[in-house]
């Protein structure tokens, strides 16, 4: 087996804590800051964000447009890097890897659901769903088998060979959800996953996330601007101008 440099580089890190009474959080941030641009175009976006999310939590992140919610989720999801501070996933320090290492870690640890789905237009539904398995080197028969099962679970058995342009918004979001779930990540990050869906379809997607959280104990961090949705999540934080303004629930 090839040596995985991402795993080798993080293997040396001690766990964030020891002892059962002090189990590592699924996710923790300490003093995370992020600024975009330089000089006159400098935009400070996140200021000294600290946050600890226990395993199995369902955390909603709310706040006005432009407050830094997506930036925060992208940092947690290793799609971008903080300027300073520390991010830990399952007790492992992450956030300052190379792009390739970040991609490998993301593939193993995280399922990401985007507001705009981010499906590849030339691939069919099942091929989109199977992408994380392709990156892991799984053979085609296994990829197709698992993708079909995932799509069937989400009520899309009759759409597996359709391309995104041939699917409704709700169907695209379910394909995106299946892609996020197929690798069985312990952490799902969702950026306004119901934002481009009608109310009924959005409710279905929320039910699926809740079910996953309740039955598998998957930790979920979801950005939403809908106070009703956020109010029904186990924990909630509010971001304003790049700072945590208010907290409720287990996440602290
Ligand atoms: P939210 O998701 O809460 O609406 P964002 O995290 O998308 O907010 O954006 C926060 C701020 O950061 C906004 O002022 C936005 O214009 C700015 N911003 C986001 N991404 C970038 C980027 N790649 N380059 C420059 N500025 C950015
Ligand atoms: Mg956003």
pLDDT digit string, tens, across residues 200-248: 888 888 998 999 999 999 999 999 988 889 999 999 999 999 999 999 8
Mean pLDDT across 91-117: 88
Residue at 36 is within a domain? yes
Q: Residue 65 Cα, ligand 2 centroid: separation in angstroms?
A: 7
pLDDT above 60 for 9: no
Output the average pLDDT for the chain: 88
59 conformational bin, left if phi > 0, alpha if psi -120 to 50, beta if neither: beta
Confidence of residue 25 (pLDDT cuts 50, 70, 90): confident
Residue 62 is assigned to a structural domain of this protein = yes
Nearest to 190 by CA among 240, 230, 243: 230
- How many structural domains compose the chain? 1
Exposure of 93 by Cβ count < 10 A (0-12 exposed, 13-18 middle, 19+ buried)? middle
pLDDT for res 8: 38
Q: Which helix (H) or strand (E) holds 244?
A: strand 243-248
| 1 within some domain | no
In a domain, 132, yes or no: yes
CATH number at 232 reads 3.40.50.300
For ligand 1, atom 22, name the residue with the nearest CA: 36
Q: What is the mean pLDDT of residues 97-104?
A: 86
In a domain, 174, yes or no: yes
Instruction: State the distance from the centre of ligand 2 to the C-alpha of 120, rounded, in angstroms.
Output: 21
2 in any annotated domain:
no
How far apart (Å, rounded) are the C-alpha atoms in residues 20 and 115? 37
Is residue 158 one of the residues assigned to a domain? yes
- Which pLDDT value is given to residue 99? 85
Distance CA 226, CA 62 (A): 8
pLDDT at 23: 60
Where does ligand 1 bind, in terms of residues with CB under 6 Å? Answer: 36-37, 43, 45, 63, 65-71
Among 37, 38, 40, 45, say which to mutate for ligand 1: greatest number of ligand atoms within 8 Å of CB: 45
Of the listed ligands, the closest to the CA of 193 is 2
Q: 158 is in which domain, residue-wise?
A: 7-248
Q: Whose CA is nearest to atom 27 of ligand 1?
A: 36
Please give the distance, rounded to the nearest whole angstrom, from the Cα atom of residue 97 to the centre of ligand 2: 24
* Radius of gyration from C-alpha coordinates of the chain: 18
3-state SS, 14-61, equals CCCCCCHHHCCCCEEEEEEEEEECCHHHCEEEEEEEEEEECCCCEEEE
Cβ neighbour number for residue 232 with a 10 Å cutoff? 13
What is the pLDDT, as a whole number, of residue 219? 97
Calculate how far, in angstroms, residue 69's C-alpha sits from the geometric centre of ligand 2.
5
Residue 33 φ/ψ, nearest 5 degrees: -130, 150
Average pLDDT rounded to a whole number, residues 99-112: 90
pLDDT of residue 102: 87
Residue 99, domain member (yes or no): yes
Task: Please give the average per-residue pLDDT across 124-142, as a whole number.
Answer: 96
CB neighbourhood size of 138 (10 A): 17
């Amino acid at each position: 087996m090839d040596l995985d440099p991402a795993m080798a580089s993080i293997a040396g890190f001690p766990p964030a804590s020891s002892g059962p009474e002090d189990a590592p959080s699924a996710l923790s941030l300490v003093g995370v800051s992020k600024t975009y641009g330089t000089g006159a175009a400098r935009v400070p976006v996140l200021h000294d964000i600290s946050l600890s999310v226990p395993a199995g939590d369902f955390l909603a992140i709310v706040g006005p447009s432009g407050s830094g919610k997506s930036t925060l989720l992208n940092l947690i999801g290793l799609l971008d890097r903080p300027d300073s501070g520390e991010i830990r996933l399952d007790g492992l320090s992450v956030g300052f890897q190379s792009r390739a290492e970040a991609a490998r870690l993301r593939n193993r640890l995280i399922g990401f659901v985007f507001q705009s789905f981010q499906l590849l237009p030339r691939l069919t539904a099942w091929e989109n769903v199977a992408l994380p398995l392709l990156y892991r080197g799984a053979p085609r028969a296994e990829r197709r088998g698992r993708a079909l099962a995932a799509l069937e679970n989400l009520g899309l058995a009759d759409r597996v060979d359709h391309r995104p342009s041939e699917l409704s918004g709700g169907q695209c979001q379910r394909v995106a959800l299946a892609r996020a779930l197929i690798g069985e990540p312990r952490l799902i990050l969702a950026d306004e996953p119901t934002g481009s869906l009608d109310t009924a379809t959005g409710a279905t997607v929320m039910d699926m996330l809740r079910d996953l959280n309740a039955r598998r104990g998957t930790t979920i961090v979801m950005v939403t601007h809908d106070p009703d949705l956020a109010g029904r999540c186990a924990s909630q934080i509010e971001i304003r101008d790049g700072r945590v303004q208010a907290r409720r629930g287990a996440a602290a």
